[in-house]
Amino acid sequence: MASTNSNERPLSPTIERGRLVRFLRKNALQIAIVFVALVIWAFFYWKSPRTFGAYDIYNSLMSTTPYFALMAIPLTLVVVAKEIDLSFGSIMAWGMAAFALVFTPLSKTNPQLGVYLGFLACLLAGLFAGWLNGFIVVKLGIPSLVTTIGTQFFWRGAVMIALNGQGIGLTAVTSTVLYPALVGRLFGKIPMQFIWMIIFAIIVWFFLNHHKFGAHVYLVGDNVDSARLMGVDVDRTKILTFAIVGVASAFAGFIVSESVLFLWPTLGEGYLLNTLASVFLGGTSVFGGTGTVFGTFVAAFIIAIINPGIVASGWLAYWTQLIYGLIIVVSVALQSLLRRRFA
Amino acid sequence: MDNVLQMKNVSKTFGEVAALRHVNFEVGSNEIVGLLGDNGAGKSTLVKIVTGYHQPDPGGEIYWKQEKIDHLSVAKARELGIEVVYQERALADLQSLWRNIFMGRELSNRLGILDEKMMFQETRKLMQTAMGFTSSAVSPESTVGTFSGGERQGVAITRALYFEAELIILDEPTMGLSISETKKCLDFVNGIKQAGKSAIFIDHNIVHVYPVADRIVVLDRGMIAGQFLKGELTFDALIDQLTRLAQTGRLESNPTMAK
């Protein structure tokens, strides 16, 4: 076969260039992101060996990075499908509001049952909110940017009404298996939410790369017309990506609330920037059609290390937000340049 | 000759506009029909009726292998084996060759898990046979955005052939292609003929249609202005006829095949 003969000369320069581009496209972004992560880590280690030489910081990173990475990983699907979701922060809280609505009446009589049913209600509420985003985008033809700004405010309002603006204590959760399973410590060392982040990443990666659904996500984001002409169910594919983000947001909301054992009605505020930054820094193109779960996974840790890194280096934490914003703009600009170069 | 497709008395009006008027059109088995006509002559309307995208006005009839089709939908047309090769919109540029070949029809198990190995091998086989990509630099993993226009058209046509299309419709496949790419594309059309399939080749460039078509049908303002078997008419005579059509709205002599 021609392909196994390494001595055979390439027939055309465009094809040779294509091979290079293919290689760059397939792997270089992922290699680059790991490299970037190592450089940043090494820099902070050099600035503050005491902080980054101890286990505590890594324990802390493994505990808090999943809070937004659990959403960034499925959000990768939405962005690959050339859509965007800005409402996941509110959906985190909305899921927990649904939890509270089910849990509160049962909290006196059967708190354990209340927790389990509440957890189920939380996931279902998130699923519904995500599905609704997809439905509005697909069936009513409203751009997802606008749709999810709208639903972001809508669900936040719904949370405030449902909780009457008040927080709720969640200590009852500690008596259920959900507590050790979701926010406990594996071997007394590794935070369980980090394990869930890995599980999420593997599942989403598998479906994106080795399942029909993922193949359709790429096709829809790359060329929606051809996908439709070739019989891909564009509407269903898009709605599903939004629904997955919805359910993952509710799950993340549960984990965050559980780890502080309190439900704040403002839950989810402040996650927008670092979640989006993880997706874009991870090499998922805002123009749709390309992106990797691995990239998002690594990028989430880069995003997470910046804040403690800045503080440990003795700078003002105000820099964090500036750098997040910079990361989003620079990584999207790089994608645009890459696209123009290889288009 | 057996007809694969036959349309009888098909009209299509959009509000006030009659896009097609009482058109009788057929495609024989293993026949390449060139469909010529100016912009607005009704070529794309005709094609969209064949693919089930538009329904003809009442009174029009469509037959597939002598069998009357009452309501031709897009899904039904594909099921029958009617494939359209759309020009630019056909491929997903950022995806690999094998993902494009199997777009929308991925091989998978019952759970939807992709059979990548199989698709990869099938694509490699098609590359070496149908597509004629022999370079070791192109693999099924190559991104199609890096291919030339002719190669891309080849991918789209090969895709249609692989999925056992009986009738392949090529909608202006040479538009925007360079001379060598056009030649490559026309080779693919010849490949359709050799594979024993039928095709409708739409173009407004007579130079491209003439060499590959068995029969040329000229549409003008929603009606069939004439049709020619290739043997009947030299290339120059055809050009003369079309020039006359453009000026006077009719062809000189009524063609022999119009019945």
- Amino acid sitting at position A51: T
Contacts of B84 in chain A (CB under 8 A): 229
What DSSP element (H or E) covers A306?
helix A293-312
- Tell me the C-alpha distance between A2 and A20, whole Å: 18
Least Cα separation, residue A218 to chain B (angstroms): 8
Q: Are residues B158 and B236 in the same domain?
A: yes
Chain B 32-51, residues with CB within 8 Å of chain A CB atoms: none
- Using a CB–CB cut-off of 8 Å, the residues of A that contact B are 1-3, 5-6, 8, 10-12, 14-19, 21-22, 25-26, 210-213, 215-216, 218-219, 222-223, 225-227, 229-232, 289-290, 342-343
**Residue at B215 is within a domain:** yes
The β-bridge partners of B211 are none
Does the beta-carbon distance from A15 to B99 stay under 8 Å? no
Highest mean pLDDT among A61-75, B62-76, B108-122: A61-75
| pLDDT grade for B132, boundaries at 50, 70 and 90 | low
- Tell me the C-alpha distance between B141 and A284, whole Å: 19
Contacts of A223 in chain B (CB under 8 A): 89, 91-93
The packing angle between helices B149-162 and B179-194, to 10°, is: 10
Q: Are residues B164 and B242 in the same domain?
A: yes
Domains of chain A: 14-342 (1.10.3470)
Contacts of B99 in chain A (CB under 8 A): 215, 218-219
| pLDDT grade for A243, boundaries at 50, 70 and 90 | very high
When CB atoms are compared, the residue of B84, B89, B137 closest to A18 is B137
Tell me which chain A residue has its CA closest to the CA of residue B108.
Answer: A212
Tell me which chain A residue has its CA closest to the CA of residue B160.
Answer: A230
When CB atoms are compared, the residue of B94, B108, B141 closest to A222 is B94
Cα Dmax for chain A: 77
Q: How many CB atoms lie within 10 A of CB B179?
A: 9
ipTM over 0.85: no
| Residue B146 in contact with partner chain A when CB distance is under 8 A | yes
Least Cα separation, residue B234 to chain A (angstroms): 37
Tell me which chain A residue has its CA closest to the CA of residue B144.
Answer: A18
Interface test with B, best of A7, A223, A240 (most B CBs within 10 A): A223
Q: Are residues B186 and B84 in the same domain?
A: yes
Q: Which domain holds residue B101?
A: 95-142
Does the beta-carbon distance from B86 to A226 stay under 8 Å? yes
| pLDDT grade for A10, boundaries at 50, 70 and 90 | very low
Q: What is the mean pLDDT of residues A326-333?
A: 83
Q: Are residues B131 and B172 in the same domain?
A: no
State the residue for tokens 């059309």. B189
Burial of A80 (0-12, 13-18, 19+ CB in 10 A): buried
When CB atoms are compared, the residue of B90, B92, B113 closest to A222 is B92
**Residue at B175 is within a domain:** yes
Last-in-domain residue among B126, B142, B158: B142
Q: Are residues B155 and B231 in the same domain?
A: yes
At B60, list the tokens: 């029009």
pLDDT the model gives residue A256:
94
Q: Are residues B101 and B163 in the same domain?
A: no
**Residue at B19 is within a domain:** no
Interface test with A, best of B94, B125, B142, B184 (most A CBs within 10 A): B94
Tell me which chain B residue has its CA closest to the CA of residue A7.
Answer: B136
Does the beta-carbon distance from B92 to A225 stay under 8 Å? no
| pLDDT grade for A4, boundaries at 50, 70 and 90 | very low
Does the beta-carbon distance from A18 to B91 stay under 8 Å? no
Q: Are residues B77 and B164 in the same domain?
A: yes
Residues 6 or more apart whose CB falls under 8 angstroms from that of B96 comprise B140, B141, B142, B143, B144
Least Cα separation, residue A247 to chain B (angstroms): 21
Contacts of B114 in chain A (CB under 8 A): 210-212, 215
Q: Give percent of chain A with pLDDT exceeding 90.
A: 51
Q: pTM of the full predicted structure?
A: 0.81
pLDDT digits (tens, 9 = 90+) for A152-199: 999 999 999 999 888 888 888 888 888 888 888 888 888 999 999 999
Written as one string, the DSSP assignment of B118-144 is: HHHHHHHHHIIIII----TT--TTSBG
Residue with the larger pLDDT of the pair B143 and A19: B143
Residues A80, A208 contacting (CB under 8 angstroms): yes
**Residue at B17 is within a domain:** no
Does the beta-carbon distance from A213 to B145 stay under 8 Å? no
**Residue at B131 is within a domain:** yes
Least Cα separation, residue A8 to chain B (angstroms): 7
Least Cα separation, residue B137 to chain A (angstroms): 6
Residues 6 or more apart whose CB falls under 8 angstroms from that of B170 comprise B85, B157, B189, B199, B200, B201, B202
Q: Are residues B101 and B46 in the same domain?
A: no
Interface test with B, best of A11, A22, A208, A340 (most B CBs within 10 A): A22
Which CATH number belongs to the domain containing residue B74 in this structure? 3.40.50.300
pLDDT the model gives residue A280:
92
Q: Are residues B179 and B236 in the same domain?
A: yes
Q: Are residues B118 and B154 in the same domain?
A: no
Q: Are residues B125 and B240 in the same domain?
A: no
**Residue at B118 is within a domain:** yes
**Residue at B41 is within a domain:** yes
pLDDT digits (tens, 9 = 90+) for B158-206: 887 777 788 888 888 777 777 777 777 788 788 888 888 889 988 877 8
What's the structural domain count of chain B?
2
Contacts of B91 in chain A (CB under 8 A): 223, 226
When CB atoms are compared, the residue of A10, A22, A215 closest to B135 is A10
Closest CA to B200 of B46, B24, B80: B46
Closest CA to B139 of B152, B149, B125: B125
pLDDT the model gives residue A334:
81
pLDDT digits (tens, 9 = 90+) for B14-47: 888 888 888 888 899 889 999 888 777 888 888 8
Q: For B27, list phi and psi in degrees, rounded to 5.
A: -125, 125
| Residue B13 in contact with partner chain A when CB distance is under 8 A | no
Closest CA to A229 of B35, B202, B183, B47: B47
**Residue at B209 is within a domain:** yes
Listed as own residue / partner, the contacts of A25-28 with beta carbons closer than 8 Å and 24 or more positions apart are A25/A290, A25/A342, A25/B94, A25/B143, A26/B141
Q: Are residues B76 and B164 in the same domain?
A: yes
